[in-house]
A and B are shown apart, each in its own frame.
Chain A
Amino acid sequence: MSELAELTESIKNGKRKIAVKIVTEELEKNTDAGELLAALVEGMDIVGQRFKNNEIFVPEVLIAARAMKESMTILEPILVTAGIKPEHKVVIGTVKGDLHDIGKNLVAMMLKGANFEVIDLGSDVAPDAFVKAAQESGAEIVAMSALLTTTMPSMRETVEALKAAGLSTKTMIGGAPVTRQYAEEIGATGFAADAATAVDMVRDLVSA
């Protein structure tokens, strides 16, 4: 197996020490940083697909994301020097009144793993905070999460606030009680049932 394939495999299995070792050694050998990034992203892609297919669950995704994150800590300065940076930005948060962040964190990690720049506003995020972050960052997409039925109306308020602010930012929503029908009802651009689908949807939306 080539080093790059081994790197992809180590991300897939959440083996952070092996991933960090390979990235470190490959950089010393002057392997192209872009190729290393591609191998890492491929690993997270496989993780996303396996998660979507119910082959793996939250803990397996989190250890893979940790391996990715630790590898990126080493790789990122090199990428910056080489002028390689994420092309697209996404603002993400759990909506106002809702403190549940496991789902949102998963989506954020998977997006980072897919090489998007993620502006994570945390949980209990008010509509105007989403608007401000979208304005300041120029993000193409605002992604919102809710676990409680009672906080879902805040998604509608955020979608409306973004429109009222004159932003053409695309919006996507997700979370246990959220449905595609609800997304259509509140005028959100998209709905994703799980973290891997969210990544696919972001890819579609930025290339649309």
Chain B
Amino acid sequence: MTGKELILKAVRGEETGRPAWMPFVGAHGGFMIGKGATEYMKSAALTVEAMKKAKEMYKPDGLPIMFDLQMEAEVLGCDLHWTDDGPPSVTSHPLEGNDDWSADQVPDLDLSAGRWPVAMEAVRLAKKELGDEIALYGLICGPFTLALHLLGNDIFLEMFDEEEKVEALTMRCADIAIAAAGAYIDNGCDVIAVVDPMVSQISPDHFAQFVTPAMNKVFDYIRSRGSLSSCFVCGDVTRNLEVMLETTCDNVSVDEQIDMANLRVLAGKYGKSFGGNLHLTTVLLMGTIADCQREAIGCIETCGTKGFIMSPGCDLPYDTPPANVAAAGLMAVDPEQMKQVKETLGDAENDTYDDVIIPDYANENAVLVDLITLDSESCAPCTYMTDAANRAAAALTAEGYDIKVKEYKIRTRQGVGMLVKLGAKNIPTICIEGVPTFESLIPEQPKLIAAIREVADKKGARK
């Protein structure tokens, strides 16, 4: 079964044998290919380049095209503030501060404006290159969050002062969402996620009044097109889980604050699939490999393999260490691996890998070049990095240097221990004499040879 088939089965609520795995690579894709978020998020070619890299590194069953909830707002008249380490933020709200605002003032979504042509080109390219193997998610801005982008914080007061106008606005935002969803479906997306983080700030009653009718309009449209839908909320939406499950979506996806055992029961009650909720900051961004493995194992054991899609709680922070994401993902895609890791992880909260012995660099005659990879046989960037190290070593050996190259795969405890002890944050990484020197991006040969030669000369590592 391909990853795509697995995700589609999971979204439909079926048993999949292992959890589906959906890493939400948004701005983080730029980090993966060494580009700032601003440049990355405006280029179809870079988007697809990062998706291909994410596919190699993270072994996902599905990937989002873009994770940017400001794309609709940008075209509808909101100003954006761009940064190089995350998605843009909305800085102005066209309907704000105007007593006479109305939903009619919101224009149609012009798909030839803003970044929509880039996004659609990215879908087509991704469909061609990756679409047979992995599911493509089109992420659109949910009606309430879009209404807030347009009206600003005034919306919270207008929900009391001008109820009918706000109802009309969220329904108008549903029309915008339908236009966006239709474009993603037309160009080849398999699942449409309606991402509405701001609903985490309102009560179930307000959700039912202002959001349910608008969301159902969008979900019903997606179903009428033969596609699948997800109701996706970043943030603590505990109080609104039931009203979310009562909408006509196929799947509910949630953030790290949600109790997944509870969601599993509720999702079963409403006959929907569910997804989530690896901790983003404390685990994936700042945690160790072992933290990420433990988190993923806990999530999988709580959620099972029926109608469940493991994913980060929201989009991955820009500079999340790729090794962390890969380590978490492996627990879902390789049950045998999870079993092994579980046995060696034990209950240790602070595993220091005392059993993993790092080489005695000082007492070796040769310069030791350690490669930390996912697996050079199955991960293309790892293959190229390994190849680069072997070629450099061969060139230097021909000059009379003593160089030894060894690969450590993070599929093994030894590999994870080396990564932790040497302080590498990315995979693949080339360490020279135990120092992480080239991470993620494959160095050019002259640069790599020069770096190893410098260390070898200092050490006197000659045959």
Q: Which residues of A does B touch, CB under 8 Å? A: 14, 54, 56-60, 62-63, 66, 97, 99-100, 102, 105, 148-150, 176-177, 179, 181
Contact = CB atoms under 8 A, between A and B. Distances in A.
B159 A149 contact: no
B157 A58 contact: no
B317 A57 contact: no
Contacts of A14: 160
Interface in B44-75: none
A186 to B, nearest CB: 13
Contact of B201 (A58, A148, A177): A58
Interface stretch (B5-13, B171-179, B278-286): B278-286
B318 interface: yes
B426 to A, nearest CB: 18
A58 B156 contact: yes
Given A57-B202, A177-B281, A149 B317 contact: yes
Given A54-B238, A59-B156, A63-B157, 9 more contacts: A57-B202, A58-B201, A59-B157, A59-B159, A62-B153, A62-B156, A62-B157, A66-B157, A150-B86
Between A14, A57, A99, A148, the greatest number of chain B beta carbons within 10 A of the residue's beta carbon is seen for A57
B239 interface: yes
B153 A99 contact: no
Between A59, A66, A177, the greatest number of chain B beta carbons within 10 A of the residue's beta carbon is seen for A59
Nearest to B238: A54
Q: Which 8 A-B pairs have the closest CB atoms?
A: A59-B156, A58-B201, A149-B317, A177-B281, A150-B85, A62-B156, A99-B89, A57-B203
19 contacts: A57-B201, A57-B202, A57-B203, A58-B156, A59-B157, A59-B202, A59-B203, A60-B203, A62-B153, A63-B156, A63-B160, A102-B153, A149-B280, A149-B285, A150-B83, A150-B85, A150-B317, A177-B280, A177-B281
A100 B91 CA distance: 9
Interface in B141-194: 153, 156-157, 159-160
Nearest to A152: B281
Contacts of B86: 148, 150
Contacts of B391: none
Contacts of B160: 14, 59, 63
B235 interface: yes
Nearest to B284: A149
Contact of B203 (A56, A150, A176, A179): A56
Interface string B303-332: 000000000000001110000000000000
A179 B282 contact: yes
Contacts of A62: 153, 156-157
Interface in B382-409: none
A97 B83 contact: yes
Contacts of A102: 153, 201
Contacts of B342: none
A14 B206 CA distance: 16
A107 to B, nearest CB: 14
Contacts of B85: 150
Nearest to B89: A99
A56 B156 CA distance: 13
B225 interface: no
Contacts of B201: 57-59, 102
A116 to B, nearest CB: 21
A181 B282 contact: yes
A97 B84 CA distance: 11
A191 to B, nearest CB: 13
B278 to A, nearest CB: 14
Contacts of B318: 150
B81 interface: yes
Contacts of A177: 280-281
B150 to A, nearest CB: 15
Nearest to A63: B160
A100 B282 contact: no
A177 B203 CA distance: 22
B282 A105 contact: no
A14 B161 CA distance: 11
Contacts of A148: 86
A81 B83 CA distance: 48
Interface string B258-285: 0000000000000000000000111001
A149 B280 CA distance: 9
A54 B237 CA distance: 11
A66 B158 CA distance: 12
A63 B159 CA distance: 10
A64 B273 CA distance: 38
